[in-house]
Amino acid sequence: MPQVSMTVNGKPASGEVEGRTLLVEFLRENLGLTGTHVGCDTSQCGACVVHVDGQDVKACTMFAAEAEGAEVTTIEGLAEADGTLHPLQQAFQDHHGLQCGFCTPGMVMTGVALLDRNPTPSEAEIRDYLEGNICRCTGYHNIVKAIMAASGQDVSKIAAE
Amino acid sequence: MPKDSGIGASSKRREDVRFLTGTGNYTDDINLNGQAYVHFLRSDVAHGRLTSVDTSAAEAMPGVLRVFTGADFAQVGGLPCGWQVTDRHGQPMQEPAHPVLAQDKVRHVGDPIAAVVAETREQARDAAEAIVPEIEDLPAVVDMKAALEEGAPKVHDDLDSNLCYDWGFVEENRDAVAEAIETAAHVTRLELVNNRLVANAMEPRVAVGDYSRATGESTLYTTSQNPHVIRLLMGAFVLGIPEHKLRVVSPDVGGGFGSKIFHYAEEAFCTFAAKALNRPVKWTATRAEAFLSDAQGRDHVTTIELALDADNNFTAIRTETHANMGAYLSTFAPSVPTWLHGTLMAGNYRTPLIYVNVKAVFTNTVPVDAYRGAGRPEATYQLERVIDKAARELGVDPIALRRQNFVTEFPYETPVAVAYDTGDYNATMDKLEEIADFDGFAARRAESEAKGLLRGRGVNCYIEACGIAPSNLVGQLGARAGLYESATVRVNATGGITVMTGSHSHGQGHETSFAQVVADMIGIDADMVEIEHGDTANTPMGMGTYGSRSIAVGGSAMVRAAEKVIAKAKKIAAHLMEASEDDIELKDGQFSVAGTDKSVAWGDVTLAAYVPHNYPLDEIEPGLEETAFYDPANFTYPAGAYACEVEVDPETGKVTIDRFAATDDFGNVINPMIVSGQVHGGLAQGIGQALLENTVYDESGQLLSASYMDYAMPRADDMPFFAVDHSCQTPCTHNPLGVKGCGEAGAIGSPPTVVNAVVDALQRGGHDVTHIDMPLTPARVWQAMQG
Ligand code: FES
Ligand code: FES
């Protein structure tokens, strides 16, 4: 079986994979990074989003071998070493942007990528950017609110707790 | 002032940190030493006779440990049904066998035929493709009415027909209702479809079976909302394993919405195969398998009639429903269109006479069972749609018609066997008019018109029966289980508390809100209370989470156990302070003697309980740990009023939700932030049902909507921000917290609100449209507008 090597959350990682092994399988099964989830088989749900060389990517839609040599960041690599949450992670907690938590890693990684590109997105821009991420629990209300809050916008007028 | 801790505080959720950092522990994250993988070969036809299954090629494939077929399960029990409905004529429902792997026939696309266990997931999948089943195709029945015709192909050869039951409720009222309808001043009639849905929790189902030859114990890790129920059903009815040799663990579970209540074949298979092979066996559903094997929801076809007198008072309701059961009876399927549906047909209104008839039908489709709301959305949808239609026919304001008929005095005995303990439907409606900004509607409508869009407003009320359920009552109604809940409150020597609850959290945030309750009762910091759930090895027998029952039933059990703890702690405190037990007060974590300045801290008392040097050993035992089982006295009745404004594009038929407001009376609220979140999620699911989601089978029984490319899940840009309010609170009168439950309300109240709004928009736009069946896709709306 071919060998792949990449940097994951700042550390070198390598392993043997089949040609058909997906990046998400490599992360979950070879590296034990189970924070990245699999919610579908048609590249629709976004539970698997990670960053590859700074881009948000659906890890179910990329072969592990394609990430050869890449810098990969997963949800496990987002908080600081001392455990301090990334501002968007913190905003998700502050604004109740998660319930069961299954979509959450993908939502947060997607949200971070959006804010990198567009530091103060409008509500419509956020909803549009989340088009590839499905959440069944939250109705998106608090996810959108959390992303707006993390970008420094005043969300106090948005209804509800 | 919002509270910052305890009951009523929007405490941030403690479970969030693990979910936000990728350190949750979902079932698929569990990998056991020596684990093998199973792949199921599933039927690709909806109905056929299974004449043979040739597994020889698959057995010879690399990595294959064993291939199982129906023959391996011939001596094993089938999946049991937990509810028996008695029909109009006093006969029990028809109850077919439900084998773990297909025996002689396949009955829906996705029915499991064989299972390959191999060293790797890929090897199992590859080998499954080499299995050759011989299936003689049989004509499939998909449409419920066709399934009941004479000579229709039978889903189960050994049953008389495809009719599971023909249920009448209240049967004695049948003739009186017919007469009231015949003689009424006005009757509004509506035929409608409650579209079939797939729950689609984002985490697909997973099962990992394990077995220890050394101890003879089986363990099942599974994505369940109720691990004890799975242990009982699978142990007692399927595999014959006594509870003390069977542990079921449901760790972090990624959403349920009902679909993870039921006992599924894959759970029994993994437990069985782990023992047969003496290896852990793991199954992880793909999303495609989830569409083909998770119990689906709704799928009712209904005709409802509402009779009114000359003053527009409701006088009678008659409703006839065909309810799809799918190919087998899933665990609680028979109860959904009957006791969770017929009993809610009074809604928020005084209607003296009600008759509900339900024909439950077997078809060659995936089984149907409870999905968020379960029966109550189907009741609410038909009732609130027919009321809206009646208001239009009579030329009266739909809100005024509702208000005129509201139940206003409590307790209220409905003619459909339930008694509402408390409520105030005018209060939630008043609040709705305020938060939905009814005054601004005309201006917004003018703005929409200027853009060439039709704006409409829909209003809706709902009531639901939650806090499921009094055991003796449901026993009389056919439940084969009790529906109490349990909790153990274990106080540790240094004062920290671990609560073991039979409730299960799969997104609801119990670890936070349950801890708020116990901390509040004692007056300590919530961080001193830990909530454990989901493992039958360390929690008392409990019935799990569904039917918005966790806080109302599970929370009540926890309160009862905590009360016992406090009572004992007071005895200890009295001893320590040499006072009478009756004079001891507990406040802010301090026990004091009334009228004195004597006090001891919570921690002093807990330490004394475990280091009983100075202790009333002749009166009470050491230790501080109590268990309570709580059986509710009644259902709880959350209720509310919702409003929605839509814009319809007359060019395309596309509906956009512009505003949505929800006012709910949940009784007392433990954590308002969490409660609002529950409402948001329910609203999105209900709006999804109204506008987007549909489960479509072709006439041969192929599921056409079996992926996210074909099944339209609501996405962020389909939703507005929601205005929600739960400040109208009439506390439940019969549970200790005065709570009613909030998990399903949004999904119950929102579909009719949306449909009412779209019909309103079209009517205001001059289109004579009185009804469109969900989902209101652009194509359906556009077609309706063309007449
Ligand atoms: S798992 Fe990657 S998009 Fe669904
Ligand atoms: S939090 Fe459960 S799917 Fe988003």
- Among B44-58, B446-460, B466-480, B522-536, name the one with the lowest average pLDDT: B466-480
Mark out the alpha helices in B438-509 (DSSP H runs): 441-450, 471-476
Ligand 1 pocket member A40 (CB < 6 A) = yes
Is residue B123 domain-shared with residue B269, that is, in the same domain? yes
Across the interface, whether the CB atoms of B507 and A140 are under 8 A apart is answered no
Of A28, A36, A42, which has the smallest distance from its Cβ to B707's Cβ? A42
Is residue A92 domain-shared with residue A148, that is, in the same domain? yes
Is residue A28 domain-shared with residue A91, that is, in the same domain? no
- Among A116-120, B24-28, B76-80, name the one with the lowest average pLDDT: B76-80
Q: Is A157 within the bounds of a domain?
A: no
Q: Give B728's pLDDT tier (boundaries 50, 70, 90).
A: very high
Is residue A70 domain-shared with residue A111, that is, in the same domain? no
Is residue B593 domain-shared with residue B675, that is, in the same domain? no
Is residue A58 domain-shared with residue A96, that is, in the same domain? no
- Coil, strand or helix at B234: helix
Is residue B667 domain-shared with residue B625, that is, in the same domain? no
Question: Given a cut of 80, is residue B34 above it in pLDDT?
Answer: yes
| CA-proximal residue: ligand 2, atom 2 (nearest) | A100
For a substitution probing ligand 1, which of A26, A37, A45, A107 has the most ligand atoms within 8 Å of its CB?
Answer: A45
Q: Is A23 within the bounds of a domain?
A: yes
Is residue B459 domain-shared with residue B529, that is, in the same domain? no
Is residue B452 domain-shared with residue B488, that is, in the same domain? no
pLDDT for the residue numbered B154: 98
Is residue A66 domain-shared with residue A100, that is, in the same domain? no
CA of B727: how far to CAs of B431, B668, B676, B677, in Å?
Answer: 9, 9, 11, 15
- Position in ligand 2 atom list of the atom nearest CA A39: 3
- Position in ligand 2 atom list of the atom nearest CA B203: 3
Which of these three, B260, B284, B308, is where a domain ends? B284
List the one residue out of B402, B394, B405 whose CA is nearest residue B313: B405
Strand partners, B485: B630
- Among B11-15, B183-187, B470-474, name the one with the lowest average pLDDT: B470-474
CATH of the domain at A103: 1.10.150.120
C-alpha B641/C-alpha B432 separation (Å) is 6
Residue A59 structure tokens: 């890890």
Cβ atoms of B257 and B542 within 8 Å: the answer is no
Query: What radius of gyration, in Å, describes the C-alpha atoms of chain A?
Result: 16
Once rounded to an integer, what is the mean pLDDT over residues B318-340? 97
Q: How far apart are the first and last CA of chain B?
A: 54
Once rounded to an integer, what is the mean pLDDT over residues A31-47? 98
How many C-beta atoms surround the C-beta of residue A9 within 10 A? 18
Q: Is B147 within the bounds of a domain?
A: no
- Nearest CA to CA, how far is B701 from chain A (Å)? 22
Q: Is B152 within the bounds of a domain?
A: no
Of chain B residues 29-48, which have a CB less than 8 A from chain A?
Answer: 29, 31
CA of B778: how far to CAs of B107, B200, B672, B783, in Å?
Answer: 34, 23, 36, 8
Is residue B437 domain-shared with residue B524, that is, in the same domain? no
Is residue A68 domain-shared with residue A95, that is, in the same domain? no
Q: Is B172 within the bounds of a domain?
A: no
C-alpha B145/C-alpha A96 separation (Å) is 45
Q: Which residue of B has its CA nearest to A101?
A: B19
Q: Is A37 within the bounds of a domain?
A: yes
Is residue A50 domain-shared with residue A106, that is, in the same domain? no
Is residue A46 domain-shared with residue A101, that is, in the same domain? no
Q: Distance from CA of residue B466 to its chain's centroid? A: 10
Cβ of residue B456 closer than 8 Å to a chain A Cβ: no
List the one residue out of B588, B481, B469, B572 whose CA is nearest residue B528: B588
C-alpha B179/C-alpha B207 separation (Å) is 54
Q: Is B189 within the bounds of a domain?
A: no
- Among A73-82, B466-475, B531-540, name the one with the lowest average pLDDT: B466-475
What element of type H or E holds B656? strand B655-665
Contacts of A105 in chain B (CB under 8 A): 19, 22
DSSP state of B152: P
- Nearest CA to CA, how far is A3 from chain B (Å)? 18
Ligand 2 centroid, distance to B681 Cα (angstroms) = 9
Mark out the alpha helices in B183-264 (DSSP H runs): 227-232
Is residue A12 domain-shared with residue A72, that is, in the same domain? yes
pLDDT for the residue numbered B690: 98
Q: Distance from CA of residue B219 to its chain's centroid? A: 26
Ligand 1 pocket member A131 (CB < 6 A) = no
Question: Given a cut of 80, is residue B1 above it in pLDDT?
Answer: no
Return the percentage of chain B with pLDDT > 90, whole number. 97
pLDDT for the residue numbered A161: 47
Is residue B456 domain-shared with residue B539, that is, in the same domain? no
pLDDT for the residue numbered B4: 83
B184: number of CA atoms within 13 Å, CB side?
26
Ligand 2 centroid, distance to B5 Cα (angstroms) = 25
Ligand 2 centroid, distance to B187 Cα (angstroms) = 44
Domain range for A123: 87-152
CATH of the domain at A64: 3.10.20.30
Structural domain total, chain A: 2
Is residue B613 domain-shared with residue B501, that is, in the same domain? yes
Once rounded to an integer, what is the mean pLDDT over residues B418-436? 97
What are the strands of the beta sheet with B590-593, ordered from one edge?
B584-587, B590-593, B599-601
Once rounded to an integer, what is the mean pLDDT over residues B353-376? 98
Q: Give A2's pLDDT tier (boundaries 50, 70, 90).
A: confident
The bridge status of strand B722-725 relative to strand B497-501 is: unpaired
- Residues contacting B499, CB < 8 A, separation 6+: B487, B488, B489, B490, B514, B515, B518, B529, B530, B531, B532, B558, B561
Domain range for B357: 300-468+634-785
Q: Is B364 within the bounds of a domain?
A: yes
Backbone angles phi, psi at B725, to 5 degrees: -145, 135
Is residue B658 domain-shared with residue B735, that is, in the same domain? yes
What is chain A's percent helix, strand, coil content, to nearest 5? 35, 15, 50
Of chain B residues 157-196, which have a CB less than 8 A from chain A?
Answer: none
Average pLDDT over chain A, rounded to an integer: 96
The model's pLDDT over B69-111, given as tens digits with 9 standing for 90+, comes to 999 999 888 999 999 999 999 999 999 999 999 999 999 999 9
Is residue B453 domain-shared with residue B415, that is, in the same domain? yes
How many C-beta atoms surround the C-beta of residue B32 within 10 A? 16
Q: In B552-576, which positions are buried (b, 16+ CB within 10 angstroms) versus exposed (e)?
A: bbbbbbbbbbbebbbebbbbbbbbb
Cβ of residue B15 closer than 8 Å to a chain A Cβ: yes
Q: Is B149 within the bounds of a domain?
A: no
Q: Which residue of B has its CA nearest to A34?
A: B29
Which of these three, A77, A95, A113, is where a domain ends? A77
Which of these three, B581, B606, B630, is where a domain ends? B630
pLDDT for the residue numbered B558: 97
Is residue A55 domain-shared with residue A114, that is, in the same domain? no
Once rounded to an integer, what is the mean pLDDT over residues B745-765? 98
Model pTM above 0.90: yes
pLDDT for the residue numbered A160: 53
Q: Is A98 within the bounds of a domain?
A: yes
Q: Is A141 within the bounds of a domain?
A: yes
CATH of the domain at B263: 3.90.1170.50
The ipTM is 0.98
Contacts of B683 in chain A (CB under 8 A): 139
Question: Given a cut of 70, is residue B283 above it in pLDDT?
Answer: yes
Q: How far apart are the first and last CA of chain A?
A: 53
List the one residue out of B220, B221, B232 whose CA is nearest residue B543: B232
Is residue B536 domain-shared with residue B398, that is, in the same domain? no
Is residue B463 domain-shared with residue B606, that is, in the same domain? no
Across the interface, whether the CB atoms of B723 and A40 are under 8 A apart is answered no
CATH of the domain at B353: 3.30.365.10
Residue with tokens 């599933």: B42
Structural domain total, chain B: 3
Which of A140, A142, A144 would you mutate first to test chain B, the one with the most B CBs within 10 A? A140
Is residue A113 domain-shared with residue A91, that is, in the same domain? yes
